[in-house]
Amino acid sequence: MPDKSAELVLSDVVRPGQSLLRPVQPIQDLEILDADLDEPKFVAVPSDGASSVYVETYGCQMNVSDSEIVASVLRESGYGLTRDADSADVVLLNTCAIRDNAEQKVRNRLRAFRARKRKRNPDLKIGILGCMAERLREKLLEEEQLVDLVVGPDAYRDLPRLLQSAEVTGQSAVNVQLSREETYADIAPVRYDSNGISAFVSIMRGCDNMCSFCVVPFTRGRERSRPVVSILRECAELIDAGYKEVTVLGQNVNSYRDGANGTSVSFAELLYRISALSPELRIRYSTSHPKDCSEELLHVHRERENVCNFIHLPVQHGNTETLERMRRTYTREEYLDLVSRARKIVPGVTLSTDIIAGFCDETEEEHQDTLSLMREVRYDHAFMFMYSERPGTYAQRKYADNVPLDTKKRRLSEIIELQNSISLESNQADVGESFRVLVEGSSKRSEDQLAGRTDGNKMVVFDKPGRRPPAPGTFVDVKINGCTSATLLGSVIN
Ligand code: SAH
Ligand code: SF4
Ligand code: F3S
């Protein structure tokens, strides 16, 4: 059996304030996370005598949060956790199925681990977790020989049993059962990769929206919310541990509702309650659906100082007919109306979005509507994707993926180019202003500079003041004196 001492080893390694993780990314930062694959997102040390497990995480923030649950479940069962893939006894890939290229990246990585198993370490156990495991199920075992474990996102409590079974029998072990109840509410995540400042708190799982292009309802199952009490407890523990920021997570986070014990707590009320725990804790959330962005929620942004004035409001497209084909449940006009209400109720709110280029039957005029909506809203930031057909979705069954690849690419680059210029203008408008920034650590480029985010989720880089530089986790006021389209540059004024 693996050794329980792994627990001690892990807590020794991950000290609050130690920057082991890159700055927290918004949940849609799939491309960035995808692009960072060379840098594994898993950290810890092997423990004497225990089987050591290496986990690599792909996809959205929810997957990062799930890997923290996986780490906790394995640690409880005595497994050691390692950041060194080469020395691991077990390699787990927590996968994403959102677009074909996300799956291809995992397949490439899997190929490398399979080669290692064949040539150097026949005892190595390889497991696929998460959304690809759910999408492909037993097919993964047929297609990708040498996979020992296939475990879906609701079956992580079963991991120790499955691992042991694979180890003892030498046979593959599979559990891809989806649940209507599982929220892992009672499992304390092991924040192995944390910077000790920002943490993810998962509050709901699954999605019932069935947007026609999206695989998530199939890989993550039905929507369910975690009890409010367990969320507040976790946030309070984070505050006690010195964390300064939580990002509350869910696939459709603002449809959260805890209806247990005759109560009914909405997402807005939950945020309010979290914000009341401590004025020192900043609160963000990801990722929301426009249909669930209530007036009540906007008022919580307005009234609660520590609920960030930043909303990620994925529009996906700017044309009403396309939105209908996408099954997004709002029209262009309704979305624009929501944006103007948000701006009225929450002055200065920053907005980001997700956009898909080249969806089925998209005409040139419809594409132009996306560009015109972007000009009208002027998002501060956007995540932009080319449509990728996903097997089993409504769009795959009912529509033809008929926009030629060249056209998709051209439309996407027009969208990206426009957004870059809007982001630059948005940042230029901040030059001369001052912002409260939560210091996360040194900037990527230089140890002489610090980096952190504004309330509006903009990244700020500034010179480290010579005397008594602010420690990570402190709030400083920074005056902005320059920018790029991605970053504000400034200097500390207090
Ligand atoms: N629950 C989130 C979405 C998570 S997926 C939400 O509704 O906002 C993140 C983004 O990936 C989506 O918003 C969408 O823009 C993009 N996406 C999802 N399916 C896609 C597909 N088949 N092709 C291209 N982009 C897709
Ligand atoms: Fe996918 Fe739509 Fe659910 Fe988001 S809301 S996860 S895009 S089905
Ligand atoms: Fe990918 Fe699954 Fe998240 S498909 S985006 S890891 S919900």
Beta strands in 152-241 (DSSP E): 173-175, 198-202, 204-205, 224-225
| Smallest-distance ligand from the CA of 312 | 1
Pocket test for ligand 1, best of 30, 212, 354, 415 (most atoms within 8 A of CB): 354
Cβ(81) – ligand 3 distance below 6 Å: no
Q: At what angle are helices 159-169 and 61-76 packed, to 10 degrees?
A: 60
> Quick one: pLDDT at residue 22?
25
Cβ(219) – ligand 3 distance below 6 Å: yes
Cβ(96) – ligand 3 distance below 6 Å: yes
> Quick one: pLDDT at residue 456?
97
Using the CB atoms, write b or e for 332-352: b if 16+ within 10 Å.
Answer: beebbebbeebeebbeebbbb
The encoded tokens of residue 331 equal: 């029209």
**Which atom of ligand 2 is least distant from the CA of 215?**
1
Mean pLDDT for the stretch of residues 175-188: 96
Q: 26-40 pLDDT, tens per residue?
A: 223 223 233 333 343
Closest of 165, 98, 97 to residue 125, by C-alpha:
165
Q: 109-142 pLDDT, tens per residue?
A: 999 999 999 999 999 999 999 999 999 998 888 8
Contact 117, 124 (CB under 8 A): yes
What is the rounded CA–CA span in Å between residue 108 and residue 425?
A: 39
Cβ(252) – ligand 3 distance below 6 Å: no
* DSSP letter, residue 334: H
Domain boundaries, the chain: 7-20+193-427, 52-175, 434-492
pTM as predicted: 0.90
Contact 90, 163 (CB under 8 A): yes
Q: Is the pLDDT of residue 14 over 70?
A: no
> Quick one: pLDDT at residue 25?
29
Name the CATH superfamily housing domain 434-492: Nucleic acid-binding proteins (2.40.50.140)
Pocket test for ligand 3, best of 27, 37, 55, 60 (most atoms within 8 A of CB): 60
User: If you measure from the C-alpha of residue 239 to the centroid of ligand 1, how many angstroms do you get, rounded to a whole number?
Assistant: 32
Cβ(63) – ligand 3 distance below 6 Å: yes
We find that the CATH architecture of domain 52-175 is: 3-Layer(aba) Sandwich (3.40)
Distances (CA, A) of 190 to 79, 150, 244: 13, 22, 17
**Which atom of ligand 1 is least distant from the CA of 390?**
22
> Quick one: pLDDT at residue 49?
55
Sign of CA pseudo-dihedral 208, 209, 210, 215: negative
The topology under which CATH files domain 7-20+193-427 is pyruvate-formate lyase- activating enzyme (3.80.30)
Can the peptide bond before residue 287 be classed as cis, meaning omega within 30 degrees of 0?
yes
The residue whose C-alpha atom lies closest to atom 1 belonging to ligand 2 is 214
Greater pLDDT, 366 or 263 = 366
**Which residue in the block uniquely carries the two structure tokens 């491309």?**
31
User: If you measure from the C-alpha of residue 206 to the centroid of ligand 2, how many angstroms do you get, rounded to a whole number?
Assistant: 9
User: If you measure from the C-alpha of residue 96 to the centroid of ligand 3, how many angstroms do you get, rounded to a whole number?
Assistant: 5
461's enclosing H/E stretch is strand 459-463
User: If you measure from the C-alpha of residue 15 to the centroid of ligand 3, how many angstroms do you get, rounded to a whole number?
Assistant: 29
- Could you tell me which residues come within 8 angstroms of residue 363 by beta carbon, excluding any fewer than 6 positions away? none
Mean pLDDT of all residues in the chain? 89
